[in-house]
Amino acid sequence: METAKKSFITSDMMKSSMIESLKKFNPVYMIKNPVMFVVEIGFLFVLLLTIFPSLSGSGGGEHDRLYNAIVTMILFVTILFANFAESIAEGRGKAQVQTLKKTKTVTQARVLLANGSEIMKQAHELKKGDIVLVQAGEVIPNDGDVIEGIATVDESAITGESAPVVKERGGDFSSVTGGTTVTSDWLMIEITSLPGESFLDKMITLIEGASRKKTPNEIALNTLLVSLTIIFLLVVVTLYPMTNYLNVQISIATLIALTVCLIPTTIGGLLSAIGIAGMDRVTQFNVIAMSGRAVEACGDVDTLILDKTGTITYGNRMASEFLPVRGVDRSELMRAAWLSSLTDDTPEGKSILSLACDLGVDAKEEENLIKSSEHIPFTAQTRMSGLDMTDGTIIRKGAYDTIKQESLAAGHNIPANLEQLVHQVSSVGGTPLVVAVNNKILGIIYLKDVVKTGLKERFEQLRAMGIKTIMCTGDNSLTAAAIAKEAGVDSFIAESKPEDKIKVIKDEQALGKVVAMTGDGTNDAPALAQANVGLAMNSGTNAAKEAANMVDLDSNPTKIIEVVEIGKQLLMTRGALTTFSIANDVAKYFAIIPAMLMVAVPEMKTLNIMSLNSPTSAIISALIFNAVIIPLLIPIAIKGVKYKPMSASKLLHKNLLIYGLGGIIAPFIGIKAIDLLVGPLLHIMGF
């Protein structure tokens, strides 16, 4: 599947993100991010000291004013970079929002009244239950269900796919979305949503982030960050009387700078951006997540439930082999099968024609035979189809029981190995179609429900993540077992009914598992609602979309696999950058404190392994590093840490090695490099 290609940042996005970053300085907004709120309070205090240096109680000379001004500027840039990270994450969804808003044109709706007359209304005047008629070339005014008619609908404004979709009454393709266009024929639609509450409106709101709520993991991590912030605040507060005792004078600006360096500002500044970017990555796959909780839940999925037809298999049974009964030549069977399918427009019929021609059947007479024969269509009652030729020859293909009964009624003997051939095909998940000429059975056509290519490898990846796959199918146990083995799923439920899906979801959840499933029909709605992650197809019913917490605009059931990987990547990115941030703070603690105290406590010089120029240089260098590291990590926060399927223990070791060890080493290198540049400048300035 092609995903939407987005450049990381455009000039327009940069400009709008900068403006938004400045707007986010509002304390009312900043208080939602406690860590960065502490930084903003520190910034305001030092700004006040810069304007009124006498408030510091240290004489208030120009020297202090200049130092305070430098600290103020760095703190301002730190907050700006943190706000910029969030603004960039939000900005990447705005292009799609603009595209969606363009579809919300003022639409006239042709409303049908009970007495048979019709009136014109504006789309925003429609109510639930209104019946509207939409003809070719007209825009569907609001979400609804088709109650009459069949037509093609252009959904490209929402899905990006140019091919129109067939919509008709009943089944799983009766749901239509407001803002899409009927391209042929007509549809009579019952409106199912109020103005402002359509699927399109929900998509715009969700992508803009207006309704994004913090997820449980995000709240837990915020609690941890607040706890660490309080701990380091206490450390700095207790440091002040200790340094006074040692006759080391530390200014208020320095204490604030030290606090900012030690609290987890890196992850505090990036945490919101990571969550928004996770939803954006899902959106790039044309999946709309109804909440950040849904995306996050994908990362915790333990069990994945998939329908067989259309998800694991293509859904169209394809002719795979011709198996003649004993005493019949294979070429005779192939020609009879070919004749029986000449007027069969189903995918199965076309595949029989294609296979027969590939194996040598001469198709030169095809046009004449079609004109001079009568097509007998398949019906649920007869369970067979075929051709009645003008010379009196009757050719049929159909279910084993039906053809067998017809053959016996005509006085023919049933071939000795027919039942064996039928069992042979059924046991490997195939469908046997028996072929007869004038009620004499010639053999069977082996129809195979083809498993989608590459799925076995994908399921192996899921297994490596620790995710169990369960296939649900209405097929019998033999067929289900064969398909399950070929696809590589862990288990299957044969002859499953809607209540069976709910039962398996509840059973897995009772074991503490997080369950995901896909569905598109009204009968899937209860299971989609029960699952922790329910991915509904956009082509499906409104009931399914309302029950699910994700909607796939492309209606590709296998996309749940990509969505799970994105969820895993989101959690991994958050964990990796949290590890890096905390490791950073530990490293900065051991880098700054010795440099600050070595004047009063010479023994501390041993711990000053970076040989920083001076206490002031150490603080300024650490503060600059603290600010600069945030924009350097924005690409990782937005794009996500590269994810490879592996066990949780291996993932933990990898994170500790790369982001834990890297987080400790990076500040030593970064602060030292900045100190080499800043130290001489500060010396010239008299610090």
User: Residue 119's beta-bridge partner residues?
Assistant: 111
Question: 639: number of CA atoms within 13 Å, CB side?
Answer: 12
Q: Which helix (H) or strand (E) holds 247?
A: none
Secondary structure (H, E, C), 108-142? EEEEECCCCCEEEEEHHHCCCCCEEEEECCCECCC
What is the phi/psi pair of residue 183, to 5°? -105, -15
Q: Are strands 468-472 and 287-289 parallel, antiparallel or unpaired?
A: unpaired
CA–CA distance, 229 with 35 (Å, rounded to integer): 7
Residue 668 vs residues 278, 460, 590: alpha-carbon distances, Å? 31, 41, 9
CA–CA distance, 44 with 76 (Å, rounded to integer): 9
User: Residue 300's beta-bridge partner residues?
Assistant: none
CA–CA distance, 243 with 601 (Å, rounded to integer): 10
What are the structure tokens assigned to 167, written together? Answer: 């919509």
Residue 431 vs residues 402, 418, 421, 478: alpha-carbon distances, Å? 14, 14, 11, 11
Compute the radius of gyration of the chain from its Cα atoms: 34
Burial class (CB in 10 A: 0-12, 13-18, 19+), 44: middle
Q: Looking at residue 677, what DSSP letter applies?
A: H
User: Residue 448's beta-bridge partner residues?
Assistant: 318
Which of 279, 268, 270 is closest to 223 using CA atoms? 268
Q: Which listed residue (172, 307, 344, 552) is catalytic? A: 307
| Sign of the C-alpha dihedral computed for residues 144, 145, 150 and 154 taken in this order | positive
Q: Angle, to 10 degrees, between the axis of helix 216-245 and the axis of helix 34-51? A: 40
- Those residues whose C-beta lies under 8 Å from the C-beta of residue 140, and which sit 6 or more positions away, are 134, 153, 176, 177, 178, 179, 180, 181, 182, 187, 189
What are the structure tokens assigned to 529, written together? Answer: 């609602």
CA–CA distance, 117 with 112 (Å, rounded to integer): 6
CA–CA distance, 307 with 323 (Å, rounded to integer): 30
What is the phi/psi pair of residue 151, to 5°? -160, 165
What are the structure tokens assigned to 435, written together? Answer: 């072929």
How far does the chain reach from its first CA to its final CA, in angstroms? 59
Q: What is the largest distance, in Å, between two alpha-carbon atoms of the chain? A: 119
CA–CA distance, 215 with 225 (Å, rounded to integer): 15
Residue 520 annotated as catalytic: no
Q: Are 100 and 157 in contact (CB under 8 A)?
A: yes
Provide DSSP, 454-498.
THHHHHHHHHHTT-EEEEE-SS-HHHHHHHHHHHT-SEEETT--H
CA–CA distance, 391 with 385 (Å, rounded to integer): 18
CA–CA distance, 461 with 540 (Å, rounded to integer): 28
Q: Percent helix, strand, coil in the chain (nearest 5)? A: 55, 15, 30
Give me the active site residues, please: 307
